[in-house]
A and B are shown apart, each in its own frame.
Chain A
Amino acid sequence: MRKRNFYIVSDGKLRRKENTIYFENAEGKRPIPINSIYSIYALGSLTITSQALNYLAREGICVHFFNRYGYYTGSFYPRESLISGDVVVKQAEHYLDREKRLYLAKAFVEGSIMNMARVLRRNGEDDTGVISALQGLENSESVEEVMGAEATARTEYYSKFDSMLSGMKFEKRSRQPPENEVNAMISFGNSLLYSAVLTEIYHTQLHPAVSYLHEPSERRFSLSLDLAEIFKPLLVDRLVISLVNKKMVGEGDFDEDFKGVLLSEKGRKKFLKAFNERLERTVKHRTLGRNVSYQRLIRLECYKLVKHILGVEKYRPFVMWW
């Protein structure tokens, strides 16, 4: 059975009966066979029985939780089943050694910048501003400077958004709260992406809390933030741009209140569907010679990182080739 991501948007309860997880609410009872679940995104108000949680844990299924505004709140990250002492020790070594950490931090930002440039070019925009941030990156001597180079690139990048978008305004990046529709979508997309990356990390020997660009103390699963940087342009920004330009979101998809602008329940459903379609979209991989989904690309990135820390092959970040 093909495994897929489940997005639970309405309120209800998850319980286990034999080899099946059931989602129940006032409207009825819907079975979800356990071996069809890759991960769960809980966006409604969800009650989960401990039997259901134990079962999900045994099967290594992550559950990501979002509050009713669509903000990520946390993940149920089951006890690790793939543990390799060698990998964890080496992962920490690459954090503790200044040069090694700097290499990885730079690599993540380089990937992020190259992918931003790709989004711009695909939309007929000039990418020289973004690309020139690579020089600053190159010269960076600390992780803070690396962060600075990434911020410079991102400012350049966002300055082109309004000319890539038709029908909705971006103006500038605003986070908490997002001040307009485009920002609301970017924020929501980024937290979905963070969760998706976390799921992939779970399926490898990498420890999710040992990171290089972000400080491990910053968030519990900071490695997920590191890797998400590389994939934001592909999995979030391009999605947002296409939803706006194809007029697939609009009236009724957003709520406005003191919290700023947020996707409405209807808007969230639309966005989730589009996001998942994007995760499942495939591309022919150049070295593997087979089709891999965008979601799988994240896993491959984890594998590359494992190989790097084991000293087999220098890590080069993923850059869109299409």
Chain B
Amino acid sequence: MIDEMYIRGVEVNYYFVCKTKLWLFSHNVSLEKESDLVKLGKLVHKEFYRKDRKDVRIGPIAIDVVRKGNELEIQEVKKAKSMEKADLFQMLYYLFYLSNLGIPARGRITYPKSREVVNVELDEKRLRDLEEILREIDGLKRGKMPKPVRKKHCRKCAYFEFCFAG
């Protein structure tokens, strides 16, 4: 079994966004400045949860958690729906992580822009998918850096110059 302690939530997200990005991030080839988009994301985040917000750090994971009765609710705010699957699986990973620790939880992804809320629960099928993805992430991280492939969102990615400056 993969030691999922060493996979960070954002890596699950990057798995869907870009394998190169996943690799670079997990090998600490980060860039000094976060792109403006990342900053914007953080700002949206802050504004939205000014109150009753808890930053929780469990192992390598940092999440916002709100207690709802006996359950925890993990909350994520995302700028746009364009990366829906990535956001979904990132959340599922958090839930999976918590359930492994015996903590019942559910998730909630908010898209303030389109005023949408997506409730997330981890079911059997998703669990199987997630486990498969975690295995693949582990393999990707152990392998060589995947060659960058130009995509639509590359231009907005912090690694753009790194990937495509020849």
- Tell me the A residues contacting B by CB distance below 8 Å: 60, 81-87, 203, 205, 285-288, 292, 296, 299-300, 303-304, 306-307, 310-313, 316
**Contact residue among B30, B161, B164, B166 (Cβ-Cβ distance under 8 Å from A299):** B161
B interface SS class = loop
Q: How many A-B residue pairs have CB under 8 A?
A: 55
Q: Which residues of chain A are near B144, meaning CB under 8 Å?
A: 310-312
Q: CB distance A82 to B30 under 8 Å?
A: yes
Closest residue on chain B to residue A316 by CB atoms: B166
Q: CB distance A87 to B29 under 8 Å?
A: yes
Q: Which residues of chain A are near B29, meaning CB under 8 Å?
A: 84, 86-87, 205, 306, 310
Does residue B27 face the partner (Cβ distance < 8 Å to A)?
yes
Q: CB distance B28 to A83 under 8 Å?
A: yes
Q: Which residues of chain B are near A86, meaning CB under 8 Å?
A: 27-29
Bin chain B's interface residue count: 10 to 19
User: In the complex where A83-B28, A205-B28 touch, is A303 in contact with B161 (Cβ < 8 A)?
Assistant: yes
Tell which of B31, B148, B162, B166 has the most Cβ of chain A within 10 Å.
B166
User: In the complex where A312-B144, A312-B145 touch, is A307 in contact with B28 (Cβ < 8 A)?
Assistant: no
User: In the complex where A60-B32, A82-B32, A312-B147 touch, is A307 in contact with B27 (Cβ < 8 A)?
Assistant: no
Bound: A286/B166 CA distance, A = 9
Bound: A296/B144 CA distance, A = 27
**Contact residue among A82, A83, A304 (Cβ-Cβ distance under 8 Å from B165):** A304
Q: Which of B57-116 contact A (CB under 8 A)?
A: none
Q: CB distance A303 to B30 under 8 Å?
A: no
Bound: A280/B158 CA distance, A = 21
1/0 per residue, CB under 8 A from A, across B130-166: the answer is: 0000000000000011011000000000001110111
**Contact residue among A84, A296, A312 (Cβ-Cβ distance under 8 Å from B28):** A84
**Contact residue among B27, B28, B31, B160 (Cβ-Cβ distance under 8 Å from A288):** B160
Q: Which residues of chain A are near B32, meaning CB under 8 Å?
A: 60, 81-82, 203
Q: CB distance A304 to B28 under 8 Å?
A: no
Q: Which residues of chain B are near A287, meaning CB under 8 Å?
A: 164-166
Can you name 6 A-B pairs with beta carbons within 8 Å? A60-B32, A82-B28, A203-B32, A288-B164, A292-B161, A300-B161
Closest residue on chain A to residue B32 by CB atoms: A203
Q: Which residues of chain B are near A83, meaning CB under 8 Å?
A: 28
Closest residue on chain B to residue A317 by CB atoms: B166
Bound: A318/B148 CA distance, A = 20
Bound: A84/B27 CA distance, A = 6
Least CB distance from B61 to A in Å reads: 22
Q: Which residues of chain A are near B164, meaning CB under 8 Å?
A: 287-288
Bound: A313/B30 CA distance, A = 18
Q: CB distance B147 to A300 under 8 Å?
A: no
Least CB distance from A100 to B in Å reads: 16
**Contact residue among B27, B30, B162, B165 (Cβ-Cβ distance under 8 Å from A285):** B165
Q: Which residues of chain A are near B28, meaning CB under 8 Å?
A: 82-87, 205
Least CB distance from A40 to B in Å reads: 17
Least CB distance from A93 to B in Å reads: 14
Closest residue on chain A to residue B165 by CB atoms: A300
Q: Which residues of chain B are near A316, meaning CB under 8 Å?
A: 166
Q: Known contacts A81-B32, A286-B166; can you find 18 more A-B pairs with CB under 8 A?
A: A82-B32, A83-B28, A84-B29, A85-B28, A86-B27, A87-B27, A87-B28, A287-B165, A296-B161, A300-B161, A300-B165, A300-B166, A303-B161, A306-B29, A307-B145, A310-B29, A312-B145, A316-B166
Q: CB distance B145 to A311 under 8 Å?
A: yes
Q: CB distance B147 to A303 under 8 Å?
A: no
Tell which of A87, A203, A296, A312 has the most Cβ of chain B within 10 Å.
A312
1/0 per residue, CB under 8 A from A, across B22-57: the answer is: 000001111110000000000000000000000000
Least CB distance from B24 to A in Å reads: 9
**Contact residue among B30, B145, B161, B166 (Cβ-Cβ distance under 8 Å from A310):** B145
Q: Which residues of chain A are near B161, meaning CB under 8 Å?
A: 288, 292, 296, 299-300, 303
Bound: A309/B4 CA distance, A = 29
Bound: A27/B13 CA distance, A = 55
Least CB distance from A85 to B in Å reads: 7
